[in-house]
Amino acid sequence: MRPLYLVFLTSLACHATLIDRIAVITGKQVIKLSDIECNLRAVSFLNRQPVDLSAKARHAAADRLVDQQIIRDEIAARGFARATDEEANDLQKQIAAERFGGSQTQLRAELQRYGLTEQQLHQQLLWQLTVLQFINERFRPAALVTDEEVAAYYRQQGDQIRKESPANFSLEAVSPKIRKILEAQRTDQEFESWLEQARKQMRIEYREAAFQ
């Protein structure tokens, strides 16, 4: 399962390019090489990894951007709520606190090293929060977990549960945590299944020459 935190990032042009090419056509929308490059830079920044602009990495980013377009269309069609600028600002402050001791100067310097601006990061985080909110609203209500499933997980993962909760690892004590784990897994499964079906119904045309 791909981590949601890393996958769903908006497509913003990070660098001006002399020649921009259409890489993918999704329905009536296009994904350009500049969109793909920006996605790769943003994912690399959030993962604290070197930027990889290889053909394989560009293909993976293109797939992510196709998924994003499907989600964007669904949000618009069904009127799902979007995250607020305030929520994105809070997440940006959290990143600055965890990685740079709260220093905005160091944050900006690191963004510049990755070829990103603060505004581009803000838009990335705004989209990421919007996607998480969409998934919770759209799929979590159907992710019902029974007491029997909780008990089965408890039996199967007993050793690990004892390590994580040595003070009190009774079924009654850890049931809420187990239920949340199973609900999250089921929500992701429902989401991935929906996304797979939506992909099959959308016209997606990859321009392979753009990835060479």
Q: What is the pLDDT of residue 210?
A: 85
pLDDT of residue 162: 84
Q: What pLDDT was estimated at residue 58?
A: 94
Establish if 159 belongs to a structural domain. no
Residue 165 lies in a domain: no
Whichever domain contains 135, its CATH number is 1.10.4030.10
Angle subtended at Cα 191 by Cα 95 and Cα 59, rounded to the nearest 5 degrees: 70
Sign of the CA dihedral 134, 47, 126, 22?
negative
167 within a domain of the structure (yes/no): no
List per-residue pLDDT tens for the chain, 212 residues long. 444 444 444 444 454 444 589 999 998 899 999 999 999 999 999 999 999 999 999 999 999 999 999 999 999 999 999 999 999 999 999 999 999 999 999 999 999 999 999 999 999 999 999 999 999 999 999 899 999 999 999 999 988 888 888 888 899 999 999 999 999 999 999 999 999 999 999 999 999 888 88
* Domain contains 166: no
Query: Which of 6, 8, 13 shows the shortest CA–CA distance to 130?
Result: 8
Our count of domains for the chain comes to 1
Q: Is residue 188 part of a domain?
A: no
Among 179, 144, 183, which Cα is nearest to 171's? Answer: 179
Residue 168 in domain? no
Residue 160 placed within a domain? no
pTM: 0.83
C-alpha angle with apex 128: 32 to 132, nearest 5 degrees?
130
Is residue 136 a part of any domain in this protein? Answer: yes
Which residues form the domain of 50? Answer: 4-142+203-211
